[in-house]
A and B are shown apart, each in its own frame.
Chain A
Amino acid sequence: MTASPDIERIRTFVAVRRAARPARRAAFSLALPLVAFLLIAFVAPILYLLVTAVDNPETKTVLPQTLTALESWDGASTPEEAVFAALAADLKIAQENSTAALVGKRLNYEISGMRSKVLAASRMVAGMDAGPYREAFLDQSDLWAAPETWAVIQRNGASLTPYYLLTAVDLKQSPTGGLERVQPDQAIFLTILGRTLLVAGMVTAFTLILGYPVAYVLTIAPKTIAAVMMLMVLLPLWTSLLVRTTAWVVLLQSDGVINSILMTLHLTAEKVQLIFTRVGTVTAMTHIQLPFTILPIYSVMRSIQPTQLRAARSLGAGPTSAFWRIYAPQTLPGVVAGCLMTFILSLGYYITPALVGGPQDQMVSNFISTYINRDLNWGLAAALGVVLLIVTLAIYGLFLRLVGADKIKLG
């Protein structure tokens, strides 16, 4: 008897769940196309990127016999004939399959000059019927005598490599296996990352300084004026990024509109270098990013009661004090959301720095593009992408910790 109310309750619960099932299914099936699209178009590429950043197939597939022979190598001297024979056998197959260039290119990342040596060696062994191969290789290049070369080959027998990720932060593996900084003349990526963060930070700061007052005016202006202003804020969003950037090229270039006006007004005797500079890059990016900063701030400002400021005034606060102590803290969720959006989007800028910026304004994305399109070094491109992703997530996490997730209001 005592159990019956419980059973009754469970039955009711099951019945309620069952009754809600069609609605749940309908909701899920409505979301399904988007979920599938995101999996294919967003999640999968990112996973592929993460894998590419550490994937290391070249040496393992092209030089399998060499790697087996190297297992008994002492690691300190030039290897024995058996290793060279194995390398020769691998390179003969590679020559037939035209895969020698692959492994040559991969080894060349770590030892400069290796690409040509590997190609030359594979041509050489193709013409040899029998050994001894050791002498022939050593005659061809001193590189084959160096234990470091063989250490690199051996290390790259692993199917995963930290090489690309280390390079992306200006580190490398020393021959002994520890980490060390790369030579100063090759250490460029931390500088680029720092520059990317700096430019994104400057753009964020400028959009905030310019956008905050605009957002405020939007909330207090009469409807008709506010509508026109909103149109002007949104206009850049409706124009293609490329078109907007090209417009800035027209404005900024040496014979461009700005220089003509300055010269006509005799404000400057010589043409001012605007294009291919940091100033130009930040200006153009600020223009493009303004709506992203303004809109979240505006949406938060609109939800603040206008009587808040009046109440503060009536209680004794002057206009400035009322603004900073009452209004500004309440706009914080919008400010954080807008700045975060602009900062993260700015980190990935590519077209604008490429067209408006100079060599010193190229950001991580430009290098990623170079490595993919020109150097065909997908590993390093992916590694740079991973580093950018990690930095972005870290900054996002930092903001969450600093202001709290409930304080970020994107909509």
Chain B
Amino acid sequence: MTALQDRTSATGKPDDALVRFTEVKKSYDGIQYVVKDLNLDVAKGEFLTMLGPSGSGKTTTLMMLGGFERPTLGHILLDGKPVEKLPPEKRNIGFVFQNYALFPHMTVAENVAFPLRYRGIRGDAAREKVKRALGRVSLEAMGDRKPAQLSGGQQQRVALARALVFEPSLVLMDEPLGALDKQLRERMQIEIKHLQTSLGITMVYVTHDQSEALTMSDRIAVFHDGRIQQLADPKTLYNAPENRFVAGFIGENNTMACSLMGRETGLAVVKMADGSTLKASDTVLSADADLTLSVRPENIMLAGDQTPPGMNLFSGIATDVFFLGDHMRLSVEAFGGQTVTARIPIAVARTFAPGETVHLACMAADCRLLEG
């Protein structure tokens, strides 16, 4: 944890950063900026994920790092040297594309050997490296096949082997698992993470899948609207989102408008739309800003006799009840018309009838007050 915290503030230590974006801006039409004022350091050996919805600027950022787009303004340093004007083939960066981009007219082995010929590695030395790279992704036996004869997961592995065979210090991945089914995707996430740690590669990974980002990353940069909304390790990001966008994008969150009334023993007291008051953990903020109270469904429980004192209590009218195997999903209308969803573990759940009044509780520490 502390190491990660240090890395977050690595801006002051240039020797630690393999990649550094300084004040990078990108515009395609000269009017609208796709990437606005990007400042980002990627440390050596780090797995950094750029997470965001489509159009958030994450892929453009990756393409600028890969050399396929030029920043409109600002600088990108790779290993301390500016690379904005360096063509992709001179950057020595491994790149895995969304659709793998394997060369269909070459065999798997020829695909993997492709980057080696540009580095003067030929003959037995090249064959040895190809064998080792394919071994790393358990595809030794597939060298003579054409990419079209492989399954999606195998093609993905070939793309990985091809990007790693020339031992780049930095590997970029653009939604590489998007086309795979769920089970395979989860297995590949673990394989990629293993490869990255065992080879000590620095990896910059782009995805819109938050669970993928949470599984694999050392740090996640959440992109929205051309800016990094929050840059933190997965746990911090999940438990302490800094703004409303991050709270809504990572995991599920109930967000409700509220206003700050005052403070009480280190907690904020907020007034909800219907006039009721709740306590919330307070990281903010100016009192006059528009505020949002955010609480995750799994942190809302049924209120009863055993409910410890000091918790936020509220009640609502049940609207939807879904049975989901290990838990029950209960939506209630509370605080004068706002929908609040709770995840009730099946062990403590009972049946609810729509229209029934339900009493709920949540801890003040789990209620986060956000600006915006």
**Chain A interface (Cβ within 8 Å of chain B)?**
305, 307-308, 310-319, 321-322, 326, 329-330
User: Which of B66, B68, B105, B118 is the one whose CB lies under 8 Å from A316?
Assistant: B118
Asked if B97 is at the interface of the complex by the 8 Å CB criterion, the answer is yes
Q: Can you sample 18 A-B contacts with CB below 8 Å?
A: A307-B97, A310-B97, A310-B101, A311-B102, A311-B103, A313-B68, A314-B89, A314-B93, A314-B163, A315-B95, A315-B118, A315-B166, A316-B119, A316-B166, A317-B114, A318-B87, A322-B89, A330-B103
The interface of chain B, by Cβ under 8 A from chain A, is: 66-68, 87-89, 91-95, 97-99, 101-105, 114-115, 118-119, 162-163, 166
Instruction: Report B-chain residues with C-beta under 8 Å of the C-beta of A321.
Output: 118
Determine if B118 and A311 form an interchain contact, defined as CB atoms under 8 angstroms apart: no
- In the complex, what residues of A have CB within 8 A of residue B95's CB? 310-311, 314-315
Asked whether, in the complex, the Cβ of A317 is within 8 Å of the Cβ of B101, the reply is: no
The reply to whether B97 and A311 contact each other, CB–CB distance below 8 Å, is yes
A307 contacts which chain B residues (CB < 8 A)? 97-99, 101
Closest Cβ neighbor of B63 among chain A residues: A310
Which residues of A lie under 8 Å from residue B68 when comparing CB positions?
A: 310, 313
Closest CB in chain B relative to A307 CB, distance in Å: 4
CB neighbours (8 Å) of A318 from chain B are 87, 89
Q: Is there an interface contact between A308 and B103, defined as CB atoms closer than 8 Å?
A: yes
Query: Cα distance A321–B89 when bound, in Å?
Result: 11
Kindly provide the distance from the CB of A208 to the nearest chain B CB, expressed in whole angstroms.
19
The 5 A-B residue pairs with the shortest CB-CB distance in the complex, in nearest-first order: A316-B118, A311-B101, A315-B115, A314-B95, A307-B101
User: If the complex has contacts A305-B99, A310-B68, A310-B88, are A317 and B105 also in contact, measured as CB distance less than 8 A?
Assistant: no
Which single residue of chain A is at the shortest CB-CB distance from B66?
A: A314
Please give, as numbers and ranges, the residues of chain A lying within 8 Å of B67 by CB-CB distance.
313-314
Given contacts A308-B103, A329-B105, contact A317 B89 (CB under 8 A): yes
14 A-B pairs besides A314-B93, A317-B118, A330-B104 with CB distance below 8 A are A305-B99, A305-B101, A307-B99, A311-B101, A311-B102, A312-B103, A313-B67, A313-B68, A314-B88, A314-B163, A315-B95, A316-B89, A316-B166, A317-B89
- Min distance, Cβ B187 to any Cβ of chain A, angstroms: 24
B93 to A, closest residue via Cβ: A314
Least Cβ–Cβ distance between B241 and chain A, in angstroms = 33
CA distance A319 to B90 in the complex (A): 11
What is the chain A residue whose CB lies nearest that of B103?
Answer: A326
Chain A, residue nearest B115 (CB)? A315
Across the two chains, which residue of chain B brings its CB closest to A314? Answer: B95
Most chain B beta-carbon contacts within 10 A, residue among A310, A314, A326, A329? A314
Please report the C-alpha to C-alpha distance between residue A310 and residue B100 in the assembled complex, in whole angstroms.
Answer: 11
Q: How far is the CA of A38 from the CA of B185 in the complex (A)?
A: 53
A288 to chain B, nearest CB (A): 32
CA gap between A318 and B95 in the complex, in Å? 15
